[in-house]
């Protein structure tokens, strides 16, 4: 079982789509292991987006990511890293197919609803970036009704 890191971005939070996005993950049978709301500061964003920090659009991304609180989710399931990326769709919301999260709720290439780790290795790094060990939970998924 893998765990991946998801960030619900300002367009998701201010557009009241957090519940709908979380529902897509729960509908897959994925388990919520962690959930927190916080504001990202410049140094956290510089670290998280190091791979795009030199791009001309990075200042705009930084301002966007600071424009509202974010929600970080730790989501677990079989092959969850790849499956969540598939559920999100491609980076550019305008090119994301309907039925994907970005295709259904995203607006632009930047305002694309959510971040999700792209590899298992990055998921491990990113989970540590946003969650303390005691903020990640393991529990049985078989509660009796
Ligand atoms: P992804 O989030 O799909 O893994 P990247 O890691 O390449 O994509 O980019 C990080 C984030 O930067 C994207 O999710 C998006 O919000 C923003 N972004 C990427 N490319 C552009 C662009 N050309 N213009 C504006 N924002 C962009």
Q: What is the pLDDT of residues 18-57, one digit of tens each?
A: 999 999 999 999 999 999 999 999 999 999 999 999 999 9
Which of 11, 40, 51, 110 has the most ligand 1 atoms within 8 A of CB, as the residue to mutate? 110
- Nearest 5°: the CA angle 7, 32, 97 is 55
Side-chain half-sphere CA neighbours of 110 within 13 A = 15
Atom 26 of ligand 1: nearest residue by CA position: 110
**CATH classification at residue 108:** 3.30.70.141
Our CA dihedral for 15, 54, 38, 17, rounded to 10 degrees, sits at 20
Cα 7 to ligand 1 centre (Å): 13
Parent domain of 34? 2-144
Quick one: DSSP state of residue 78?
Answer: T
What pLDDT, on a 0 to 100 scale, did the predictor assign at position 140? 75
Which member of 16, 48, 51, 115 is catalytic? 115
Instruction: Flag whether pLDDT at 66 surpasses 90.
Output: yes
Which of 51, 54, 90, 109 has the most ligand 1 atoms within 8 A of CB, as the residue to mutate? 109
pTM: 0.96
* 115 is an active site residue: yes
Q: How many domains does the chain have?
A: 1
Cα 61 to ligand 1 centre (Å): 8
What pLDDT, on a 0 to 100 scale, did the predictor assign at position 144? 60
- Nearest atom in ligand 1 to the alpha carbon of residue 49 is 10
The token pair that represents 141 in the structure block:
């998924």
Burial of 21 (0-12, 13-18, 19+ CB in 10 A): buried
Q: List, for residues 110-138, the tens digit of each pLDDT value.
A: 999 999 999 999 999 999 999 999 999 99
For ligand 1, whether the C-beta of 107 sits within 6 Å is no
């Amino acid at each position: 079982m893998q765990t991946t890191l998801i960030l619900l971005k300002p367009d998701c939070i201010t557009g009241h789509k957090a519940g709908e996005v979380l529902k897509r993950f729960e509908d897959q049978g994925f388990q919520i292991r962690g959930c927190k709301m916080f504001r990202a500061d410049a140094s956290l964003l510089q670290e998280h987006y190091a791979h795009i920090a030199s791009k001309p659009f990075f200042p705009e991304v930084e301002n966007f990511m600071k424009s509202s609180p974010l929600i970080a989710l730790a989501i677990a399931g079989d092959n969850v890293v790849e499956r969540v990326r598939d559920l999100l769709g491609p980076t550019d919301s305008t090119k994301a197919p309907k039925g994907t999260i970005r295709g259904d709720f995203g607006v632009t290439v930047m305002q694309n609803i959510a971040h999700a780790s792209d590899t298992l290795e990055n998921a491990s790094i990113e989970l540590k970036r946003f969650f303390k060990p005691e903020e990640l939970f393991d529990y049985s998924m078989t509660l009796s009704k």
